[in-house]
Structure 1
């Protein structure tokens, strides 16, 4: 029950961020794309080694506030985001702007061999760094990762 509630909160927050995230007119430049991908790479690496503290550190402030603790965050990820938590393989797709939000597509082969596309909503912080403000999983856009 708690796991389902946490997942629901995560999805609701990701969907409601349209009003909270600064609106961007253009996709980020090459330097920002590289920084965005480095954040996602680093979080996935932290998941793979079960380093919840590090994984949680890549979440945007609103996500950190919503989950409150590393344990709550990791329970949500383990329960609802297995492909992100334990990918067999992944590669980055396009960075797009959707409703003013920067979205990084990541094509993933999950632990069960199934393909999904993860849509990471990225938020630039006042210091210029990037953090993950939400993630949703969808049907695969490409067959291999």
Structure 2
């Protein structure tokens, strides 16, 4: 019986969660601790609080950037859609090569779509973000 309940919870957790970013990020309602970590980092970005956003990064990311200011500069330069997305959706989660990935779709303020895979690492105090990798999108011809 416990196994059946676990399977149902996993299947429910793999569904798509739409998150509107109108107003403040606290309107987001992530379904689990992993999504809460990502949503928490986005909330910190929206508040221009890179120290809090940096706290959601795994130790290897923190080591690579050294401090919140360097981390913030990287986000502003290469991941600006995450600073104030118009919309975001939690998509599929998968395990690949022993690594847990959470896919997230962002819509920017101009309607552009941006998809990223988040490497999620379970830390002592909860989930941390180990990497964020842009997902190549197919070219659409008119």
Question: TM-score, length-normalised on structure 2?
Answer: 0.72
Distance 2:39 2:103 in 1: 13
Count of aligned residue pairs for this structure pair: 111
* Aligned counterpart, 1:88: 86
Greater RCO (Cα-Cα under 8 Å, separation 6 or more): 1
Change in Cα spacing, 1:113 to 1:38, as seen in structure 2 (3 Å) is: same
The one-character-per-residue Cα deviations of 1:21-47 (angstroms, maximum 9, x if unpaired) are xxxxxxx955xx711000000000000
Query: Comparing both structures, which one devotes a greater share of its residues to helix?
Result: 1
Structure 1 or 2, whichever has the larger Rg, is 2
1:107 offset after TM fit, Å?
A: 1.0
The one-character-per-residue Cα deviations of 1:72-113 (angstroms, maximum 9, x if unpaired) are 000000000012222111010111112211000111102332
Secondary structure class of the residue paired with 1:90 = strand
Q: How large is the RMSD of aligned CA atoms in angstroms?
A: 2.0
- Of residues 113, 126, 129, the one that matches 1:129 is 126
The one-character-per-residue Cα deviations of 1:114-145 (angstroms, maximum 9, x if unpaired) are 101110001112x261100000112459xxxx
Question: TM-score, length-normalised on structure 1?
Answer: 0.70
Task: Give the unaligned 5+ runs of structure 2.
Answer: 1-8, 14-30
1:51-90, aligned counterparts within 5 Å? 51-90=49-88
Task: Give the unaligned 5+ runs of structure 1.
Answer: 1-27
